[in-house]
Amino acid sequence: MTLAELLPSIGCSTEPVLEEGLWPDGTRLDGSDLVIGGVPASRLAAQFGTPCQVLDETTVRTRAREFLKALPEAEVVFAGKSLPCPEVYRWMAAEGLSLDVSSAGELALARAADFPAARIVMHGNVKTGEDLKAALAYGVSRIVVDSFDEIAQLGALARHGQQVVVRVTPGVDAHTHAAIATGVEDQKFGFSLASGAALEAVLRVVEQPSLRLVGLHCHIGSQVRHVAAYEETVRRMVGLIAGCGVRIEQLDLGGGFCAPYLPGESSFDLAGFAHRVRVALNYECAVHRVPVPRVLVEPGRSVVANAGVTLYRVCAVKRGTTRTFVAVDGGMSDNPRPALYGAKYAVRLVGRGGRMAPVTVVGRHCEAGDVLASDVVLPADVHAGDLLAVPATGAYHHALASNYNQVGRPPVVAVHDGTARLVVRRETEEDLLRRYV
C-alpha cells in the first residue's frame, strides 16, 4: 500500500480541507490558519499560550438544542462530569437543560453557576456523607441511589420526601471499551436487574419514610454507537417497572451517545435513537399495561466533544529508528484518554502545509505511554515551534486532566463570534505549590 492510500486511514487528510464532523461548527481554514469560533488559532495560541483547550460556545449550544428538539417530551440532563465548568453549566441552564453532578465538588461548580436545584440530578456509585449533605442542603431535585448502604444513609439524612431514583444495571452490552461499559453485569455500578437486587432496592426506598421514589435510572456505557442497545435497555427497564408494582414516573436512560474522533466516523444517530426509543417505550408500556414514564437522557460527550480543540506547540522532533516522534508541550496530563482507552485522535499542523509524512505525536511526561496520536500525518518538515491542533477534545479532557510531573493544567478558552475569553485559567506553579505544607 502506498502512503497516499494509507493516509486517510491513519488520522488526517493531505488535502487542505477540514475533516467533516470533527471540528467545531463553522471552523474554517484561512490560508493555512485555522479559524475556530471566528478566532484564528494562531492568535489564540499567542494570547493564551499552549497547551490551550479551545471551546466553541455555538457548537455546545447547538448540540444541546439538537437533543431538546429530537426529544421534546424528555428531560435532557447534561452530564456535568464531561466538562466541569460553571460557564458551560450556565449555557446549559440557559438552553433549558438539566444537569447531572457526581460529587459535592461538581455540585459546587453548579452552585457557582446558580444552576437551579430543581433541575439537578446527583449520581455516583459512592457518595460520601459530605456529597449527600451537600446535595440535600442545595435541594437537588433527585438523588440516584446506587447501593443498599446509600439508601439507608440517605434515608437517615433526608427530610421532607427527598426524591430518589434507583440505578439499575440492565445487563445490556453496549459494545464499547470495557473501562466505560457500565450496563453489563459484574461491575461496580447499579443494582443488578437479573439478580433481583434492583427490585429489592426499589422496595427498600419505598420503605424509607423520608424518601420518595420517582424513577429508575440506567447508563449502559459511553461512546455507544448502536441504538439497538438502548432499545433493548428500554425493554428490560419497562419489564422491571411492570414487575415492581410501584408507580414509576421517570425513566432515565443515561447518556453514552458517541462522538466522532477520527475522519470518517459518524455522529450519534440521534433522530434514530429518539424514534426507536419512543416506539419501544410505548409498545412495552402498552404490553405491560403501565403508564409511560417521562424519559430522561444524560448526554455529555455528544454535546461537548466536537466543540473542543486543543492547541499544542511542538517542542522537539526526534527521528527514531522506525518512527518520527513529534513532542509537544502537553500530553497525558491534559489528555490521558489514549493511555486509558486506546483513544485515537486526528492532528493538524496550523500555519503550513506541504508534503506529508507519518509521525507519532507524544507528550512531555515521564512515561513511554504518553502518546497523544500515533501514526498521524503532518508536513514532513514539522519542527520545533510549529502549532498543532487536535479536534474532538471537548469532553473528558479538562475533566480528566492531572498535574503529573507538576505540570499546570491548561486553560479553557471559550470562543464565540470572533471573540475569545478565558473560562478556566491556566494552573500556575503557585497554584500547585499552595497545596504543599
Ligand X SMILES: Cc1ncc(COP(=O)(O)O)c(C=O)c1O
Ligand Y SMILES: N[C@@H](CCCC[NH3+])C(=O)O
Q: Which residues contact 402 (CB under 8 A, 6 or more apart)?
A: 332, 333, 336, 409
Residue 79 interacts with ligand X (CB under 6 A): yes or no: yes
Which of the 8 DSSP states describes residue 211?
A: E
Residue 339 interacts with ligand Y (CB under 6 A): yes or no: no
The grid coordinates of residue 57 equal: 460556545
Q: Which CB sits closer to ligand Y, 59 or 82?
A: 82
Q: Minimum CB separation from ligand Y for residue 301, in Å?
A: 7
Residue 222 interacts with ligand X (CB under 6 A): yes or no: yes
The entry of ligand Y, ligand X, none near residue 147 (CB within 5 to 8 angstroms by kind) is none
The entry of ligand Y, ligand X, none near residue 337 (CB within 5 to 8 angstroms by kind) is ligand Y
Is 380:386 a contact under the CB 8 Å cutoff?
no
Residue with smallest beta-carbon separation from ligand Y: 396
Measure Cα distances from 395 to 155, 251, 345, 361, 402 in Å: 34, 25, 13, 20, 15
Is 265:230 a contact under the CB 8 Å cutoff?
no
Site for ligand Y in 297-336 (CB under 6 A): none
Among 61, 167, 337, 348, binds ligand Y (CB under 6 A): 337
Measured between alpha carbons, how far is 388 from 232 in angstroms, rounded to an integer?
42
Q: Which CB sits closer to ligand Y, 223 or 250?
A: 223
Site for ligand X in 49-78 (CB under 6 A): none
Q: Minimum CB separation from ligand Y for residue 222, in Å?
A: 4
Residue 396 interacts with ligand Y (CB under 6 A): yes or no: yes
Residue 222 interacts with ligand Y (CB under 6 A): yes or no: yes
Residue 141 interacts with ligand Y (CB under 6 A): yes or no: no
Is residue 396 part of an annotated ligand binding site?
A: yes
Which of the 8 DSSP states describes residue 31?
A: T
- Bridge-based pairing of strands 33-36 and 39-40 is antiparallel
Among 300, 330, 351, 391, binds ligand X (CB under 6 A): 300
Question: What crossing angle do the helices spanning 148-157 and 129-138 adopt, rounded to 10°?
Answer: 50
The yes-or-no answer on residue 285 being catalytic is no
Site for ligand Y in 60-89 (CB under 6 A): 81
Q: Which CB sits closer to ligand X, 131 or 298?
A: 298
> Using only C-alpha atoms, what is the Rg of the chain?
23
What x-and-dash track marks residues 246-285 binding ligand X by CB under 6 A?
A: --------xxxx----------------------------
Query: Cα 374 from chain centroid?
Result: 22
Q: Which CB sits closer to ligand Y, 71 or 181?
A: 181
Q: Which CB sits closer to ligand X, 219 or 397?
A: 219
Is 210:158 a contact under the CB 8 Å cutoff?
yes
What's the order of all strands across the beta sheet hosting 28-30? 28-30, 33-36, 39-40
Q: Minimum CB separation from ligand Y for residue 182, in Å?
A: 7
The entry of ligand X, ligand Y, none near residue 183 (CB within 5 to 8 angstroms by kind) is none
Dihedral (C-alpha) 28, 30, 33, 36: value to the nearest 10 degrees? -30
Is 356:380 a contact under the CB 8 Å cutoff?
yes
The grid coordinates of residue 270 equal: 440521534
Measured between alpha carbons, how far is 277 from 214 in angstroms, rounded to an integer?
20
SS (H, E, C) 414-427: EEECCEEEEEECCC
Q: Give the phi and the psi of residue 408 in degrees, each rounded to 5.
A: -70, 145
Residue 418 one-letter amino acid: G
Q: Minimum CB separation from ligand X for residue 209, in Å?
A: 27
102 sits in which H/E element? none
Q: Which CB sits closer to ligand X, 7 or 262?
A: 262
The entry of ligand Y, ligand X, none near residue 298 (CB within 5 to 8 angstroms by kind) is ligand X
Binding site residues, ligand Y, CB under 6 A: 81, 180, 222-223, 337, 341, 396, 400
Q: Which residues are annotated as a binding site for pyridoxal 5'-phosphate?
A: 256, 298-301, 396
Q: Which residues are annotated as a binding site?
A: 256, 298-301, 337, 341, 367, 396
Catalytic residues: 366
Binding site residues, ligand X, CB under 6 A: 79, 82, 100, 123, 219, 222, 254-257, 298-302, 395
